[in-house]
Amino acid sequence: MTFPVEKVRADFPILQREVNGLPLAYLDSAASAQKPNQVIDAESAFYRHGYAAVHRGIHTLSAQATESMENVRKQASRFINARSAEELVFVRGTTEGINLVANSWGTENIRAGDNIIISEMEHHANIVPWQMLCERKGAELRVIPLHPDGTLRLETLAALFDDRTRLLAITHVSNVLGTENPLPDMIAPVPKPGTLITIPSQMLLPDAPREGVIVNLAELRLYYYPPGENRVQVYPIGIGLQGLETPVMDTRIGQKIPNPTWTPTAGIRQRSLERGITLPPVIPAGPNNPLGRYALRLAHGNGEYLIHGTSAPDSVGLRVSSGCIRMNAPDIKALFAQVRTGTPVKVINQPVKFSVEPNGIRYVEVHRPLSPEEEQNVQTMPYVLPAEFTAFRNAQGVDSRLVDKALYRRAGYPVSVSAGQTPAVNTTAVESAQNGFVGEEGQTRATQ
């Protein structure tokens, strides 16, 4: 699958002209981006047939214009995988957007003595707003210097960070140097030597039979219980996006497929065409295959749902698929080697899990629910709680205030809600609703 360069160029009228006797190669999009036919035609149609103020009128044209704009907000939120369309704020450009953050978030959160870190390669628009904010608040602006080759001197980053660092504002790709910065390495907190780092690795097992494969959509996790063994393996997954949700199901593994080929469906082809990408009829096995090197076909329906690897590892942990379940390459390889055709698979949706442990401590683990529509805020979206949970919340030994706090925070890891109890400080892991606890190598061992 290759990017259709000439097809995309044909969408831009200005790229059909010559400048100084040569085909135009336009490299100033950071300042003024050229527009494709689709944008030009859409704007022209709006001015000709639908122009009206949005969110201000009650007449038909205003209502139609408002609906069109909000539909664009939903599409854009889906494109960037935002949790909700409400997270998107339309601005006229990056400069306005950065100034908006500086004058809203910055005004509320930056205090005298705090510091903000930028780099020496930043565009003017990512320097001046922070300079002005620091001057106004009595904060310090710190700068990551450059190597002679135009890359950041990352070895200086640890010295710049301290407990008063409030913001790291770094470009991903420099519009002048073309340098691509390693953001995943930079955005992780840089602690001082000796700092204790706590990474939550505990979880409650879902309320489901401890056999075969259990997929809990709400927590984006897959659990595998090896037959005859008293343990469970836990893997992160990616699932279907809004409108193409991975369904709840009771099924089994119908087929094991090593080195799968991929035949895109009509719907996938159409969505790809809308992005300017024409997919071939069949994508062969190999590193560019979206299914990865291993696939498990589920017996549900017509066999259209798979558990498979991916050529886009960043998609694991997100809602981005067309309904299939994605896994990291090492994880699907390990699972593929262990399961057999006929292994039961149960897909559930349990955002709230709870347990009473053998030592009497009560726990809840609350995840954000899966929203069926982009505009819903998953942080405030109400839960449908089972009757068993209501009984658990109101039971003796449970602090209902801690339960309500956990439901509000939706932190995604187990918290104790015991009334008047403090977990032992030497507890190595949280036991689960099924009496399982996190063991070595990221697996979860179960106890009877």
For the CA atoms of 156, 157, 159, 165, the dihedral, rounded to the nearest 10 degrees, stands at: 150
**Per-residue confidence at 17, pLDDT binned at 50, 70, 90?**
very high
At 306 the pLDDT is: 95
| Given 147, 172, 308, 367, the catalytic residue | 308
**Per-residue confidence at 192, pLDDT binned at 50, 70, 90?**
low
pLDDT tops 90 at residue 348: yes
319-168-199 Cα angle (round to 5): 55
Nearest to 78 by CA among 209, 271, 302: 271
At 258 the pLDDT is: 95
Residue-averaged pLDDT of the chain:
84
Q: How far apart are CA 379 and CA 373, in angstroms?
A: 14
At 46 the pLDDT is: 93
In eight-state DSSP terms, residue 324 is -
Residue 324: active-site member: yes
Q: Is 131 helix (H, G, I), strand (E, B) or coil?
A: helix
At 239 the pLDDT is: 95
Q: What is the largest CA-CA distance in the chain?
A: 84
At 425 the pLDDT is: 34
* Residue range 243-302, pLDDT digits in tens: 889 999 999 999 999 999 888 888 888 877 776 777 877 888 887 788 999 999 999 998
At 196 the pLDDT is: 52
**Per-residue confidence at 428, pLDDT binned at 50, 70, 90?**
very low
pLDDT tops 90 at residue 174: no
For the segment 331-359, the average pLDDT, to the nearest whole number, is 94
Please give the domain boundaries of the chain with CATH numbers for all domains: 1-14+31-46 (no CATH), 52-89 (no CATH), 94-186 (3.40.640.10), 212-348 (2.40.440.10), 352-446 (no CATH)
For the segment 322-343, the average pLDDT, to the nearest whole number, is 95
pLDDT tops 90 at residue 81: no
At 240 the pLDDT is: 92
Q: Which long-range contacts (CB under 8 A, 24 or more apart) does 172-177 make?
A: 174/121, 174/150, 175/30, 175/123, 176/121, 176/123, 177/121, 177/150
CB neighbour list of residue 172: distance below 8 Å, 6 or more residues apart = 180, 181, 183
pLDDT tops 70 at residue 443: no
**Is the separation of the CB atoms in 276 and 8 below 8 Å?**
yes
**Per-residue confidence at 193, pLDDT binned at 50, 70, 90?**
low
Residue 134: active-site member: no
* Residue range 153-169, pLDDT digits in tens: 887 887 788 778 889 89
Helix (H) and strand (E) counts for the chain? 11, 20
For the chain, what percent of residues have pLDDT higher than 70?
88
| Given 49, 59, 324, 367, the catalytic residue | 324
At 200 the pLDDT is: 53
